[in-house]
Structure 1
Amino acid sequence: MSSGLLGRVKAGWRAFQGWRRHRPFGAGMFLLPASAVIGLPPYASFRLGDVVLSIRTMGGMSALLIAALLLICAVSLWSRPQYRVAAGVTAILVSLVALVSSNLGGFLVGTALGLVGGALAVSWAPPTADERDGDEEGGSGPSRTRLAGVAVLLVGAVVGAPAASPSASAATTAVPSGRVWVLTASVLHLTGLRYHGVSTTRVGGVEVEVLRFTANRIDITSLVQVSELVDGHLGRITAPPGSVSTATGQPIELLTLRLKGTLSVLGLVGLPVDFTPDRPPPLVLPSLTFTDVTVVNTDLRHARLTIPAAKITVT
Protein backbone atom coordinates (compact mmCIF):
# COMPACT_ATOMS: atom_id res chain seq x y z
CA MET A 1 0.00 0.00 0.00
CA SER A 2 2.75 2.39 0.97
CA SER A 3 4.80 1.52 -2.13
CA GLY A 4 1.74 2.14 -4.34
CA LEU A 5 1.19 5.51 -2.69
CA LEU A 6 4.87 6.36 -3.07
CA GLY A 7 4.68 5.42 -6.76
CA ARG A 8 1.69 7.71 -7.28
CA VAL A 9 3.48 10.52 -5.48
CA LYS A 10 6.56 10.08 -7.69
CA ALA A 11 4.41 9.96 -10.84
CA GLY A 12 2.55 13.08 -9.76
CA TRP A 13 5.83 14.86 -9.04
CA ARG A 14 7.23 13.93 -12.47
CA ALA A 15 4.02 15.19 -14.11
CA PHE A 16 4.32 18.44 -12.17
CA GLN A 17 7.97 18.80 -13.18
CA GLY A 18 7.06 18.32 -16.84
CA TRP A 19 4.23 20.86 -16.55
CA ARG A 20 6.53 23.35 -14.80
CA ARG A 21 9.28 23.10 -17.42
CA HIS A 22 6.85 24.12 -20.17
CA ARG A 23 5.98 27.50 -18.65
CA PRO A 24 7.79 30.30 -16.71
CA PHE A 25 6.81 28.83 -13.36
CA GLY A 26 9.41 30.71 -11.30
CA ALA A 27 8.27 34.06 -12.67
CA GLY A 28 4.74 33.42 -11.42
CA MET A 29 6.11 32.46 -8.01
CA PHE A 30 7.64 35.95 -7.72
CA LEU A 31 4.55 37.77 -8.98
CA LEU A 32 2.16 36.11 -6.50
CA PRO A 33 3.88 37.51 -3.37
CA ALA A 34 4.41 40.82 -5.17
CA SER A 35 0.65 41.04 -5.64
CA ALA A 36 0.05 40.36 -1.94
CA VAL A 37 2.74 42.75 -0.68
CA ILE A 38 1.45 45.62 -2.82
CA GLY A 39 -2.28 44.98 -2.42
CA LEU A 40 -2.67 44.18 1.30
CA PRO A 41 -0.99 47.02 3.28
CA PRO A 42 -3.57 49.77 2.48
CA TYR A 43 -6.30 47.50 3.91
CA ALA A 44 -4.36 45.76 6.71
CA SER A 45 -4.81 46.32 10.43
CA PHE A 46 -2.49 45.19 13.21
CA ARG A 47 -3.29 44.85 16.92
CA LEU A 48 -0.66 45.60 19.56
CA GLY A 49 -2.37 44.96 22.85
CA ASP A 50 -5.25 47.43 23.03
CA VAL A 51 -3.87 49.50 20.15
CA VAL A 52 -5.06 48.84 16.56
CA LEU A 53 -2.77 50.08 13.78
CA SER A 54 -4.17 50.64 10.29
CA ILE A 55 -2.11 51.64 7.27
CA ARG A 56 -4.66 53.94 5.66
CA THR A 57 -2.36 55.83 3.35
CA MET A 58 -2.62 56.87 -0.28
CA GLY A 59 -3.09 54.35 -3.03
CA GLY A 60 -5.83 52.10 -1.72
CA MET A 61 -7.61 51.66 -5.04
CA SER A 62 -4.46 51.85 -7.12
CA ALA A 63 -2.84 49.20 -4.90
CA LEU A 64 -5.83 46.93 -5.40
CA LEU A 65 -5.70 47.42 -9.18
CA ILE A 66 -1.95 46.81 -9.39
CA ALA A 67 -2.23 43.73 -7.18
CA ALA A 68 -5.00 42.37 -9.42
CA LEU A 69 -2.90 42.98 -12.55
CA LEU A 70 0.10 41.19 -11.05
CA LEU A 71 -2.12 38.28 -10.06
CA ILE A 72 -3.54 38.10 -13.60
CA CYS A 73 -0.01 38.17 -15.04
CA ALA A 74 1.04 35.31 -12.74
CA VAL A 75 -1.96 33.18 -13.70
CA SER A 76 -1.49 33.91 -17.43
CA LEU A 77 2.19 32.86 -17.24
CA TRP A 78 1.08 29.43 -16.01
CA SER A 79 -2.02 29.02 -18.17
CA ARG A 80 -0.93 30.84 -21.38
CA PRO A 81 2.91 30.77 -21.51
CA GLN A 82 2.85 31.87 -25.17
CA TYR A 83 1.94 35.36 -23.90
CA ARG A 84 4.81 35.43 -21.42
CA VAL A 85 6.51 38.52 -22.88
CA ALA A 86 3.34 40.62 -22.76
CA ALA A 87 2.66 39.45 -19.19
CA GLY A 88 6.28 40.03 -18.17
CA VAL A 89 6.44 43.55 -19.61
CA THR A 90 3.09 44.39 -17.99
CA ALA A 91 4.36 43.12 -14.62
CA ILE A 92 7.51 45.24 -14.91
CA LEU A 93 5.58 48.39 -15.81
CA VAL A 94 2.91 48.09 -13.10
CA SER A 95 5.59 47.25 -10.50
CA LEU A 96 7.33 50.52 -11.37
CA VAL A 97 4.05 52.43 -11.27
CA ALA A 98 3.46 51.03 -7.78
CA LEU A 99 6.47 52.99 -6.54
CA VAL A 100 4.60 56.29 -6.91
CA SER A 101 1.01 55.16 -6.51
CA SER A 102 0.97 52.51 -3.79
CA ASN A 103 3.10 52.99 -0.66
CA LEU A 104 6.44 52.89 -2.47
CA GLY A 105 5.48 49.68 -4.21
CA GLY A 106 4.70 47.75 -1.05
CA PHE A 107 7.62 49.43 0.76
CA LEU A 108 9.92 48.52 -2.17
CA VAL A 109 9.53 44.78 -1.54
CA GLY A 110 6.55 44.36 -3.87
CA THR A 111 8.20 46.34 -6.66
CA ALA A 112 11.41 44.31 -6.31
CA LEU A 113 9.50 41.02 -6.48
CA GLY A 114 7.46 42.26 -9.46
CA LEU A 115 10.56 43.36 -11.38
CA VAL A 116 12.29 40.02 -10.81
CA GLY A 117 9.18 38.08 -11.81
CA GLY A 118 8.65 40.19 -14.93
CA ALA A 119 12.29 39.83 -15.97
CA LEU A 120 12.12 36.05 -15.51
CA ALA A 121 8.95 35.91 -17.62
CA VAL A 122 10.53 37.88 -20.47
CA SER A 123 13.71 35.82 -20.31
CA TRP A 124 12.10 32.39 -20.29
CA ALA A 125 12.15 30.31 -23.49
CA PRO A 126 10.20 27.10 -24.23
CA PRO A 127 12.06 23.77 -24.28
CA THR A 128 13.88 22.84 -27.46
CA ALA A 129 13.06 19.68 -29.37
CA ASP A 130 15.96 17.85 -27.69
CA GLU A 131 14.78 18.94 -24.26
CA ARG A 132 11.22 17.83 -25.03
CA ASP A 133 12.57 14.44 -26.07
CA GLY A 134 14.46 14.30 -22.80
CA ASP A 135 11.24 15.02 -20.90
CA GLU A 136 9.47 12.19 -22.69
CA GLU A 137 12.31 9.85 -21.75
CA GLY A 138 12.05 10.90 -18.11
CA GLY A 139 15.04 13.22 -18.03
CA SER A 140 14.86 16.59 -16.36
CA GLY A 141 16.42 18.50 -19.25
CA PRO A 142 18.67 21.53 -18.77
CA SER A 143 17.16 24.70 -17.34
CA ARG A 144 17.07 27.72 -19.62
CA THR A 145 16.74 31.41 -18.95
CA ARG A 146 17.08 33.23 -22.24
CA LEU A 147 16.53 36.96 -22.01
CA ALA A 148 14.41 38.10 -24.88
CA GLY A 149 11.35 40.71 -25.19
CA VAL A 150 10.51 41.78 -28.34
CA ALA A 151 11.47 42.62 -31.92
CA VAL A 152 13.72 42.93 -34.99
CA LEU A 153 15.92 44.43 -37.31
CA LEU A 154 17.61 45.33 -40.57
CA VAL A 155 19.28 47.38 -43.18
CA GLY A 156 21.22 48.15 -46.35
CA ALA A 157 20.29 49.05 -49.94
CA VAL A 158 21.09 52.14 -51.97
CA VAL A 159 24.26 53.77 -50.66
CA GLY A 160 24.63 57.48 -51.30
CA ALA A 161 28.18 57.95 -50.13
CA PRO A 162 31.74 58.30 -51.51
CA ALA A 163 33.66 55.12 -52.22
CA ALA A 164 36.97 54.37 -50.53
CA SER A 165 38.01 51.44 -52.70
CA PRO A 166 38.79 50.97 -56.40
CA SER A 167 36.15 48.22 -56.43
CA ALA A 168 33.51 50.36 -54.73
CA SER A 169 31.12 50.17 -57.68
CA ALA A 170 30.81 46.42 -57.18
CA ALA A 171 29.95 46.92 -53.52
CA THR A 172 26.98 49.16 -54.23
CA THR A 173 25.00 45.94 -54.78
CA ALA A 174 25.87 44.97 -51.19
CA VAL A 175 22.34 43.73 -50.45
CA PRO A 176 21.88 41.00 -53.06
CA SER A 177 18.56 39.22 -53.04
CA GLY A 178 18.77 35.65 -51.78
CA ARG A 179 22.27 36.02 -50.33
CA VAL A 180 23.28 36.21 -46.69
CA TRP A 181 24.46 39.60 -45.43
CA VAL A 182 25.34 40.68 -41.90
CA LEU A 183 24.69 44.04 -40.24
CA THR A 184 26.31 45.13 -36.98
CA ALA A 185 25.59 48.42 -35.19
CA SER A 186 26.06 49.99 -31.78
CA VAL A 187 22.45 51.25 -31.78
CA LEU A 188 19.53 50.21 -33.98
CA HIS A 189 16.22 52.08 -33.71
CA LEU A 190 13.18 50.93 -35.70
CA THR A 191 9.90 52.79 -36.11
CA GLY A 192 6.68 51.58 -37.69
CA LEU A 193 7.86 48.03 -37.03
CA ARG A 194 5.67 44.98 -37.67
CA TYR A 195 6.41 41.25 -37.45
CA HIS A 196 4.65 39.08 -40.05
CA GLY A 197 5.73 35.65 -38.83
CA VAL A 198 8.05 32.96 -40.20
CA SER A 199 8.34 32.81 -44.00
CA THR A 200 10.54 30.96 -46.48
CA THR A 201 13.05 32.09 -49.09
CA ARG A 202 15.89 30.57 -51.11
CA VAL A 203 19.55 31.08 -50.28
CA GLY A 204 22.12 29.46 -52.54
CA GLY A 205 19.40 27.32 -54.12
CA VAL A 206 18.26 26.01 -50.72
CA GLU A 207 14.93 26.91 -49.15
CA VAL A 208 15.33 28.33 -45.64
CA GLU A 209 13.02 29.76 -43.00
CA VAL A 210 13.31 33.44 -42.16
CA LEU A 211 11.62 36.04 -39.96
CA ARG A 212 9.67 38.58 -42.03
CA PHE A 213 9.53 42.20 -40.80
CA THR A 214 8.41 45.53 -42.18
CA ALA A 215 9.33 49.00 -40.89
CA ASN A 216 8.88 52.62 -41.97
CA ARG A 217 12.27 53.89 -40.81
CA ILE A 218 15.49 52.50 -39.41
CA ASP A 219 18.27 54.48 -37.74
CA ILE A 220 21.62 52.71 -37.46
CA THR A 221 24.52 54.04 -35.39
CA SER A 222 28.08 52.98 -36.32
CA LEU A 223 26.93 50.77 -39.19
CA VAL A 224 29.08 47.91 -40.49
CA GLN A 225 27.58 45.71 -43.21
CA VAL A 226 29.20 42.67 -44.83
CA SER A 227 27.63 40.84 -47.75
CA GLU A 228 28.53 38.12 -50.22
CA LEU A 229 28.77 39.39 -53.79
CA VAL A 230 27.83 37.51 -56.95
CA ASP A 231 31.42 36.51 -57.73
CA GLY A 232 32.07 35.11 -54.26
CA HIS A 233 33.88 38.19 -52.94
CA LEU A 234 32.80 39.95 -49.78
CA GLY A 235 31.61 43.56 -49.86
CA ARG A 236 32.02 45.64 -46.70
CA ILE A 237 30.30 48.98 -46.03
CA THR A 238 31.46 50.92 -42.97
CA ALA A 239 30.12 54.18 -41.56
CA PRO A 240 32.22 56.41 -39.27
CA PRO A 241 31.91 55.46 -35.57
CA GLY A 242 29.08 57.36 -33.95
CA SER A 243 27.45 58.35 -37.25
CA VAL A 244 23.77 57.60 -37.87
CA SER A 245 22.71 55.94 -41.12
CA THR A 246 19.03 55.89 -42.08
CA ALA A 247 16.87 53.48 -44.07
CA THR A 248 13.45 54.63 -45.27
CA GLY A 249 10.66 52.97 -47.20
CA GLN A 250 6.88 52.57 -47.30
CA PRO A 251 7.38 50.07 -45.89
CA ILE A 252 10.81 48.46 -45.78
CA GLU A 253 10.55 44.67 -46.00
CA LEU A 254 13.25 42.56 -44.38
CA LEU A 255 13.87 38.80 -44.29
CA THR A 256 16.01 37.89 -41.29
CA LEU A 257 17.79 34.69 -40.30
CA ARG A 258 18.91 35.96 -36.91
CA LEU A 259 18.65 39.08 -34.71
CA LYS A 260 20.95 39.21 -31.71
CA GLY A 261 21.52 42.15 -29.40
CA THR A 262 20.26 43.98 -26.32
CA LEU A 263 16.70 45.32 -26.30
CA SER A 264 16.34 48.65 -24.48
CA VAL A 265 13.21 48.81 -22.29
CA LEU A 266 12.25 52.46 -21.64
CA GLY A 267 15.95 53.31 -21.71
CA LEU A 268 16.25 51.80 -18.22
CA VAL A 269 16.67 48.05 -18.66
CA GLY A 270 18.62 46.09 -21.28
CA LEU A 271 17.32 42.63 -22.19
CA PRO A 272 19.57 40.35 -24.30
CA VAL A 273 17.61 38.83 -27.19
CA ASP A 274 18.45 36.22 -29.82
CA PHE A 275 15.65 35.74 -32.36
CA THR A 276 15.67 33.06 -35.08
CA PRO A 277 12.90 31.23 -36.97
CA ASP A 278 13.13 28.55 -34.27
CA ARG A 279 12.89 31.23 -31.54
CA PRO A 280 10.72 33.98 -33.06
CA PRO A 281 9.84 37.16 -31.17
CA PRO A 282 6.62 36.60 -29.22
CA LEU A 283 5.84 40.32 -29.22
CA VAL A 284 7.01 43.21 -31.41
CA LEU A 285 6.21 46.81 -30.53
CA PRO A 286 5.89 49.58 -33.18
CA SER A 287 9.07 51.26 -31.93
CA LEU A 288 12.11 49.37 -30.67
CA THR A 289 15.72 50.19 -29.83
CA PHE A 290 18.57 47.67 -29.74
CA THR A 291 22.22 48.09 -28.78
CA ASP A 292 25.25 46.00 -29.77
CA VAL A 293 23.23 44.41 -32.57
CA THR A 294 24.15 41.70 -35.06
CA VAL A 295 21.57 40.92 -37.73
CA VAL A 296 21.85 38.17 -40.38
CA ASN A 297 19.55 38.85 -43.35
CA THR A 298 18.78 37.36 -46.76
CA ASP A 299 16.72 40.07 -48.44
CA LEU A 300 15.77 43.74 -48.19
CA ARG A 301 13.07 45.35 -50.33
CA HIS A 302 11.58 48.80 -50.89
CA ALA A 303 14.32 50.55 -48.92
CA ARG A 304 16.72 53.41 -49.43
CA LEU A 305 19.76 53.45 -47.14
CA THR A 306 21.74 56.65 -46.64
CA ILE A 307 25.19 56.27 -45.06
CA PRO A 308 27.22 59.41 -44.27
CA ALA A 309 30.85 59.19 -45.42
CA ALA A 310 30.60 55.49 -46.17
CA LYS A 311 33.73 53.44 -46.79
CA ILE A 312 33.23 50.58 -49.24
CA THR A 313 35.73 47.77 -49.72
CA VAL A 314 35.73 44.44 -51.57
CA THR A 315 37.84 41.46 -50.53
Structure 2
Amino acid sequence: MLLKRPRPSLSPSLSPPFARQRRRLRTWRRTRPFWGGLLIVLGGAELLLVPLSPLTVLVSLGPGGIAAIGIGAALVVAGLSLWFLPQARAYVSVHALLLSVLSFLATNLGGFLVGMLLGIAGSALAFGWTPLPAGAAPGATGGQDPCEHEAHGSGPRALAAVLPVLLAAALATGAPPARAAGGPGGPPTATRTPPSVATSLFAPQGFTFAGVTEVATADGPLRVLVLKMHAASLADYRLRTHDGHEEYGLAATSLELRGNVTLYLTKFSGCIEGLLCVTFSPDGLPAPPVIPPFVFMTRVSAEQALVTSDLIVTDGLRLEAS
Protein backbone atom coordinates (compact mmCIF):
# COMPACT_ATOMS: atom_id res chain seq x y z
CA MET A 1 0.00 0.00 0.00
CA LEU A 2 1.45 3.30 -1.11
CA LEU A 3 1.07 6.25 1.17
CA LYS A 4 0.89 9.68 -0.40
CA ARG A 5 3.07 12.16 1.34
CA PRO A 6 1.55 15.59 1.94
CA ARG A 7 2.97 18.36 -0.17
CA PRO A 8 5.05 20.71 1.99
CA SER A 9 3.91 24.31 2.04
CA LEU A 10 6.22 26.97 0.82
CA SER A 11 7.69 29.12 3.52
CA PRO A 12 8.16 32.82 2.97
CA SER A 13 11.86 32.19 2.39
CA LEU A 14 11.01 29.73 -0.46
CA SER A 15 8.48 32.04 -2.21
CA PRO A 16 9.25 33.05 -5.79
CA PRO A 17 11.84 35.80 -6.10
CA PHE A 18 10.54 39.36 -5.90
CA ALA A 19 7.04 38.11 -4.96
CA ARG A 20 6.59 40.85 -2.38
CA GLN A 21 7.72 43.54 -4.83
CA ARG A 22 5.33 42.18 -7.47
CA ARG A 23 2.43 42.28 -5.03
CA ARG A 24 3.25 45.86 -4.08
CA LEU A 25 3.47 46.86 -7.74
CA ARG A 26 0.14 45.17 -8.49
CA THR A 27 -1.52 46.94 -5.56
CA TRP A 28 -0.07 50.29 -6.64
CA ARG A 29 -1.14 49.74 -10.25
CA ARG A 30 -4.74 48.93 -9.30
CA THR A 31 -5.19 52.15 -7.36
CA ARG A 32 -4.61 54.49 -10.31
CA PRO A 33 -5.29 54.66 -14.08
CA PHE A 34 -2.03 52.89 -14.84
CA TRP A 35 -2.69 51.68 -18.39
CA GLY A 36 -4.17 54.98 -19.51
CA GLY A 37 -1.13 56.82 -18.17
CA LEU A 38 1.20 54.32 -19.84
CA LEU A 39 -0.42 54.83 -23.25
CA ILE A 40 -0.21 58.61 -22.86
CA VAL A 41 3.48 58.38 -21.90
CA LEU A 42 4.15 56.17 -24.93
CA GLY A 43 2.28 58.58 -27.20
CA GLY A 44 4.25 61.54 -25.85
CA ALA A 45 7.52 59.65 -26.21
CA GLU A 46 6.69 58.83 -29.83
CA LEU A 47 5.95 62.50 -30.57
CA LEU A 48 9.28 63.42 -28.99
CA LEU A 49 11.27 60.86 -30.97
CA VAL A 50 9.83 61.59 -34.43
CA PRO A 51 11.42 65.05 -34.94
CA LEU A 52 14.67 63.76 -33.44
CA SER A 53 14.81 60.72 -35.74
CA PRO A 54 17.18 60.49 -38.74
CA LEU A 55 14.22 60.69 -41.18
CA THR A 56 15.38 64.07 -42.46
CA VAL A 57 13.45 63.74 -45.69
CA LEU A 58 10.08 63.03 -44.08
CA VAL A 59 10.37 65.03 -40.90
CA SER A 60 11.26 68.71 -40.71
CA LEU A 61 12.54 70.10 -37.42
CA GLY A 62 10.75 73.40 -37.99
CA PRO A 63 7.65 74.74 -36.24
CA GLY A 64 6.06 71.28 -36.48
CA GLY A 65 9.09 69.65 -34.88
CA ILE A 66 9.24 72.22 -32.09
CA ALA A 67 5.51 71.78 -31.44
CA ALA A 68 5.98 67.99 -31.40
CA ILE A 69 8.65 68.29 -28.73
CA GLY A 70 6.46 70.58 -26.63
CA ILE A 71 3.30 68.47 -26.97
CA GLY A 72 5.23 65.23 -26.48
CA ALA A 73 6.81 66.50 -23.27
CA ALA A 74 3.42 67.71 -22.03
CA LEU A 75 1.88 64.28 -22.72
CA VAL A 76 4.67 62.52 -20.85
CA VAL A 77 4.08 64.81 -17.86
CA ALA A 78 0.32 64.16 -18.12
CA GLY A 79 0.85 60.39 -18.13
CA LEU A 80 3.11 60.56 -15.08
CA SER A 81 0.58 62.81 -13.35
CA LEU A 82 -2.08 60.12 -13.83
CA TRP A 83 0.21 57.69 -11.99
CA PHE A 84 1.20 59.90 -9.09
CA LEU A 85 -1.87 62.19 -8.89
CA PRO A 86 -4.80 59.87 -9.71
CA GLN A 87 -7.26 62.19 -7.96
CA ALA A 88 -6.77 64.69 -10.81
CA ARG A 89 -7.41 62.10 -13.54
CA ALA A 90 -10.45 63.88 -15.06
CA TYR A 91 -8.65 67.21 -15.44
CA VAL A 92 -5.41 65.62 -16.71
CA SER A 93 -7.10 63.20 -19.13
CA VAL A 94 -9.11 66.01 -20.79
CA HIS A 95 -5.92 68.04 -21.19
CA ALA A 96 -4.13 65.00 -22.66
CA LEU A 97 -7.01 64.39 -25.08
CA LEU A 98 -6.91 68.00 -26.29
CA LEU A 99 -3.13 67.88 -26.77
CA SER A 100 -3.37 64.57 -28.63
CA VAL A 101 -5.92 65.97 -31.08
CA LEU A 102 -3.94 69.17 -31.59
CA SER A 103 -0.81 67.15 -32.37
CA PHE A 104 -2.41 66.17 -35.69
CA LEU A 105 -2.55 69.84 -36.70
CA ALA A 106 0.63 71.20 -35.16
CA THR A 107 3.10 68.33 -35.57
CA ASN A 108 4.03 65.78 -38.20
CA LEU A 109 0.48 64.39 -38.48
CA GLY A 110 0.46 63.55 -34.79
CA GLY A 111 3.64 61.51 -35.04
CA PHE A 112 2.32 59.84 -38.21
CA LEU A 113 -0.92 59.13 -36.28
CA VAL A 114 0.81 56.77 -33.82
CA GLY A 115 1.41 59.26 -31.03
CA MET A 116 -1.99 60.89 -31.51
CA LEU A 117 -3.89 57.58 -31.36
CA LEU A 118 -1.95 56.42 -28.31
CA GLY A 119 -2.73 59.69 -26.56
CA ILE A 120 -6.44 59.52 -27.43
CA ALA A 121 -6.74 55.89 -26.28
CA GLY A 122 -4.85 56.59 -23.05
CA SER A 123 -6.97 59.66 -22.31
CA ALA A 124 -10.17 57.67 -22.80
CA LEU A 125 -8.95 54.88 -20.50
CA ALA A 126 -7.87 57.36 -17.83
CA PHE A 127 -11.13 59.31 -18.00
CA GLY A 128 -13.19 56.12 -17.68
CA TRP A 129 -11.16 54.67 -14.80
CA THR A 130 -12.83 54.72 -11.38
CA PRO A 131 -11.23 54.00 -8.00
CA LEU A 132 -12.15 51.20 -5.63
CA PRO A 133 -15.19 51.75 -3.39
CA ALA A 134 -14.50 53.31 -0.04
CA GLY A 135 -13.31 50.69 2.44
CA ALA A 136 -12.34 48.12 -0.18
CA ALA A 137 -8.70 47.11 -0.05
CA PRO A 138 -6.86 45.77 -3.10
CA GLY A 139 -6.28 42.04 -2.86
CA ALA A 140 -9.16 41.50 -0.39
CA THR A 141 -11.71 40.34 -2.95
CA GLY A 142 -11.27 36.61 -2.62
CA GLY A 143 -8.98 36.21 -5.62
CA GLN A 144 -11.17 38.37 -7.83
CA ASP A 145 -9.66 41.31 -9.64
CA PRO A 146 -10.47 44.32 -7.45
CA CYS A 147 -11.22 46.36 -10.56
CA GLU A 148 -13.71 43.82 -11.92
CA HIS A 149 -16.66 45.55 -10.28
CA GLU A 150 -16.22 48.44 -12.70
CA ALA A 151 -17.15 46.28 -15.68
CA HIS A 152 -20.82 46.44 -14.68
CA GLY A 153 -20.87 50.24 -14.63
CA SER A 154 -22.00 52.16 -17.66
CA GLY A 155 -21.15 55.73 -16.77
CA PRO A 156 -17.55 56.89 -17.23
CA ARG A 157 -16.54 53.65 -19.00
CA ALA A 158 -19.28 54.00 -21.58
CA LEU A 159 -18.27 57.61 -22.18
CA ALA A 160 -14.63 56.60 -22.49
CA ALA A 161 -15.52 53.96 -25.08
CA VAL A 162 -17.62 56.35 -27.17
CA LEU A 163 -15.34 59.40 -26.88
CA PRO A 164 -12.61 58.24 -29.32
CA VAL A 165 -15.24 57.17 -31.87
CA LEU A 166 -16.96 60.56 -31.79
CA LEU A 167 -13.63 62.34 -31.94
CA ALA A 168 -12.44 60.29 -34.92
CA ALA A 169 -15.71 60.95 -36.74
CA ALA A 170 -15.38 64.69 -36.11
CA LEU A 171 -11.82 64.69 -37.40
CA ALA A 172 -12.62 62.62 -40.47
CA THR A 173 -15.81 64.22 -41.69
CA GLY A 174 -16.59 67.22 -39.50
CA ALA A 175 -20.21 68.10 -38.85
CA PRO A 176 -22.72 67.63 -41.69
CA PRO A 177 -23.66 70.83 -43.48
CA ALA A 178 -26.96 72.28 -42.36
CA ARG A 179 -29.53 74.04 -44.50
CA ALA A 180 -28.82 77.53 -45.73
CA ALA A 181 -29.56 80.04 -43.00
CA GLY A 182 -31.52 83.20 -43.32
CA GLY A 183 -35.01 81.72 -43.30
CA PRO A 184 -37.37 81.26 -40.37
CA GLY A 185 -35.45 80.24 -37.27
CA GLY A 186 -32.05 80.93 -38.88
CA PRO A 187 -29.58 83.79 -38.42
CA PRO A 188 -30.07 87.04 -40.40
CA THR A 189 -28.47 87.67 -43.76
CA ALA A 190 -24.72 88.29 -43.62
CA THR A 191 -22.70 90.92 -45.48
CA ARG A 192 -20.97 90.10 -48.76
CA THR A 193 -17.50 90.29 -47.22
CA PRO A 194 -17.12 89.06 -43.60
CA PRO A 195 -15.52 91.68 -41.32
CA SER A 196 -12.11 90.86 -39.89
CA VAL A 197 -11.89 90.60 -36.11
CA ALA A 198 -8.79 90.57 -33.91
CA THR A 199 -8.39 90.27 -30.16
CA SER A 200 -5.45 89.69 -27.86
CA LEU A 201 -7.40 87.35 -25.57
CA PHE A 202 -10.44 85.15 -26.20
CA ALA A 203 -11.77 83.35 -23.10
CA PRO A 204 -14.98 81.38 -23.81
CA GLN A 205 -17.25 79.62 -21.33
CA GLY A 206 -19.10 76.46 -22.32
CA PHE A 207 -17.46 76.47 -25.75
CA THR A 208 -18.72 73.87 -28.27
CA PHE A 209 -18.28 73.37 -32.01
CA ALA A 210 -21.79 73.18 -33.55
CA GLY A 211 -20.76 72.17 -37.05
CA VAL A 212 -20.52 73.75 -40.51
CA THR A 213 -23.50 75.50 -42.05
CA GLU A 214 -24.36 78.15 -44.64
CA VAL A 215 -25.53 81.71 -44.10
CA ALA A 216 -27.28 83.77 -46.75
CA THR A 217 -25.56 86.78 -48.32
CA ALA A 218 -26.41 89.06 -51.25
CA ASP A 219 -23.95 87.03 -53.35
CA GLY A 220 -25.34 83.64 -52.31
CA PRO A 221 -24.77 81.20 -49.44
CA LEU A 222 -21.53 81.35 -47.47
CA ARG A 223 -20.04 78.35 -45.63
CA VAL A 224 -19.16 79.11 -42.01
CA LEU A 225 -18.06 77.44 -38.81
CA VAL A 226 -20.65 77.63 -36.03
CA LEU A 227 -19.22 78.11 -32.53
CA LYS A 228 -21.57 78.25 -29.54
CA MET A 229 -20.86 79.19 -25.95
CA HIS A 230 -22.55 80.49 -22.81
CA ALA A 231 -20.33 83.57 -22.62
CA ALA A 232 -17.04 84.95 -23.86
CA SER A 233 -14.58 87.63 -22.80
CA LEU A 234 -12.43 89.47 -25.36
CA ALA A 235 -9.62 91.94 -24.68
CA ASP A 236 -8.37 94.61 -27.11
CA TYR A 237 -11.21 93.89 -29.51
CA ARG A 238 -10.85 95.30 -33.04
CA LEU A 239 -13.26 94.91 -35.99
CA ARG A 240 -12.62 96.08 -39.55
CA THR A 241 -15.19 96.14 -42.35
CA HIS A 242 -15.69 98.03 -45.58
CA ASP A 243 -18.70 99.06 -47.58
CA GLY A 244 -17.77 100.00 -51.12
CA HIS A 245 -14.83 102.41 -50.88
CA GLU A 246 -15.25 103.21 -47.19
CA GLU A 247 -13.57 101.24 -44.42
CA TYR A 248 -14.93 101.28 -40.89
CA GLY A 249 -13.33 100.23 -37.67
CA LEU A 250 -14.74 99.34 -34.27
CA ALA A 251 -12.50 98.98 -31.24
CA ALA A 252 -13.05 98.29 -27.55
CA THR A 253 -10.80 97.79 -24.57
CA SER A 254 -12.94 94.83 -23.52
CA LEU A 255 -15.97 93.07 -24.93
CA GLU A 256 -18.27 90.69 -23.03
CA LEU A 257 -20.73 88.39 -24.83
CA ARG A 258 -23.27 86.80 -22.48
CA GLY A 259 -26.11 84.34 -23.01
CA ASN A 260 -26.60 82.06 -26.04
CA VAL A 261 -23.53 83.31 -27.89
CA THR A 262 -23.17 82.01 -31.46
CA LEU A 263 -20.32 82.90 -33.81
CA TYR A 264 -20.51 82.27 -37.56
CA LEU A 265 -16.92 82.37 -38.86
CA THR A 266 -15.31 81.72 -42.24
CA LYS A 267 -11.88 81.57 -40.60
CA PHE A 268 -10.67 81.31 -37.02
CA SER A 269 -7.07 81.27 -35.83
CA GLY A 270 -5.26 81.81 -32.56
CA CYS A 271 -2.81 80.38 -30.05
CA ILE A 272 -4.31 77.94 -27.53
CA GLU A 273 -3.08 78.68 -24.00
CA GLY A 274 -0.79 81.22 -25.71
CA LEU A 275 1.47 78.38 -26.94
CA LEU A 276 -0.01 76.32 -29.77
CA CYS A 277 -1.20 78.34 -32.78
CA VAL A 278 -3.83 76.74 -35.03
CA THR A 279 -6.20 77.80 -37.82
CA PHE A 280 -9.69 76.42 -38.48
CA SER A 281 -11.94 76.93 -41.51
CA PRO A 282 -15.10 75.29 -42.92
CA ASP A 283 -13.12 73.55 -45.66
CA GLY A 284 -10.27 72.51 -43.39
CA LEU A 285 -10.12 70.51 -40.19
CA PRO A 286 -12.96 71.64 -37.88
CA ALA A 287 -12.47 72.58 -34.28
CA PRO A 288 -12.66 69.79 -31.65
CA PRO A 289 -16.30 69.03 -30.67
CA VAL A 290 -15.86 70.16 -27.06
CA ILE A 291 -13.31 72.57 -25.57
CA PRO A 292 -12.58 72.41 -21.82
CA PRO A 293 -13.80 75.52 -19.94
CA PHE A 294 -10.31 76.46 -18.75
CA VAL A 295 -8.89 76.86 -22.28
CA PHE A 296 -8.23 80.36 -23.61
CA MET A 297 -6.70 81.68 -26.82
CA THR A 298 -4.38 84.62 -27.53
CA ARG A 299 -3.58 86.53 -30.73
CA VAL A 300 -6.95 85.60 -32.19
CA SER A 301 -7.94 86.69 -35.70
CA ALA A 302 -11.15 85.71 -37.47
CA GLU A 303 -13.41 86.47 -40.39
CA GLN A 304 -16.77 86.94 -38.70
CA ALA A 305 -19.87 86.62 -40.87
CA LEU A 306 -22.33 86.95 -37.98
CA VAL A 307 -22.48 87.00 -34.19
CA THR A 308 -25.57 86.66 -32.00
CA SER A 309 -25.76 87.13 -28.24
CA ASP A 310 -28.38 87.95 -25.61
CA LEU A 311 -26.20 90.69 -24.12
CA ILE A 312 -23.10 92.59 -25.27
CA VAL A 313 -21.16 94.71 -22.77
CA THR A 314 -18.22 96.87 -23.90
CA ASP A 315 -15.70 99.15 -22.28
CA GLY A 316 -13.85 101.89 -24.15
CA LEU A 317 -15.87 101.55 -27.37
CA ARG A 318 -14.57 103.60 -30.30
CA LEU A 319 -15.84 103.97 -33.90
CA GLU A 320 -13.36 104.81 -36.64
CA ALA A 321 -13.81 105.55 -40.34
CA SER A 322 -11.28 105.90 -43.12
| TM-score of the aligned structures, taking structure 2 as reference length | 0.47
Greater C-alpha radius of gyration = 2
Q: Which has the higher contact order (CA 8 A, sep 6+)?
A: 1
| TM-score of the aligned structures, taking structure 1 as reference length | 0.48
